[in-house]
Structure 1
Amino acid sequence: MKKASLKTIAERMKNLDFRMMVTQDGQQVSYSRPMSNNGKVEYDGDSWFFTYEDGHKVDQIKKNQHVNLIYQTDDMLFIECTGNGEILKDKNMLKEKWVEGLDQWFPEGIDTPGICLIKVRASRVRFWHKEEEGEYIA
Structure 2
Amino acid sequence: MGTEAKTDQIKFLKDKVEDVRIAMLVTVNANHEIHSRPMGTADVDEEGNIWFFTNEYSSKAEEISHENKVVVTYSNPNNNTYLSIKGTASLVDNKEKMKKLWNPIIKAFFPDGIDDPKLTLLKVDTEEAEYWDSNSSKMVVGFQMLKAAITGKRYDQGDHGKIQL
Same-fold call, TM cutoff 0.5: yes
Q: What one-letter code is carried by the residue in structure 2 that aligns with 1:10? A: K
Greater strand share, structure number: 1
CA distance in 2, matches of 1:65, 1:41: 19
Count of equivalent residues: 134
Structure 1 unaligned blocks of 5 or more: none
CA distance in 1, matches of 2:121, 2:50: 10
Q: What one-letter code is carried by the residue in structure 1 that aligns with 2:160? A: E
Q: Does 1:49 align with 2:52?
A: yes
CA drift of 1:25 comes to 1.1
Q: Provide the identity percentage.
A: 25
> 2:44–2:51: 8 Å Cα contact kept in structure 1?
no
Corresponding residue number in structure 1 for 2:163:
136
CA drift of 1:70 comes to 0.7
Structure 2 unaligned blocks of 5 or more: 1-7, 135-157
Greater helix share, structure number: 2
Equivalent residue for 1:29, pick from 33, 43, 58: 33
Equivalent residue for 1:111, pick from 108, 115, 120: 115
Q: Which TM-score applies when normalising by structure 2? A: 0.74
Choose 1 or 2 for highest CA Rg: 2
Q: What are the equivalent positions in structure 2 for 1:16-95 lying under 5 Å apart?
A: 16-38=20-42, 40=43, 44-74=47-77, 75-95=79-99
Corresponding residue number in structure 1 for 2:126:
122
Corresponding residue number in structure 1 for 2:155:
none
Q: What one-letter code is carried by the residue in structure 2 that aligns with 1:113? A: P
Corresponding residue number in structure 1 for 2:12:
8
Q: Does 1:100 align with 2:104?
A: yes
Q: Which TM-score applies when normalising by structure 1? A: 0.87
- Higher relative CO (Cα under 8 Å, sequence separation at least 6) belongs to 1
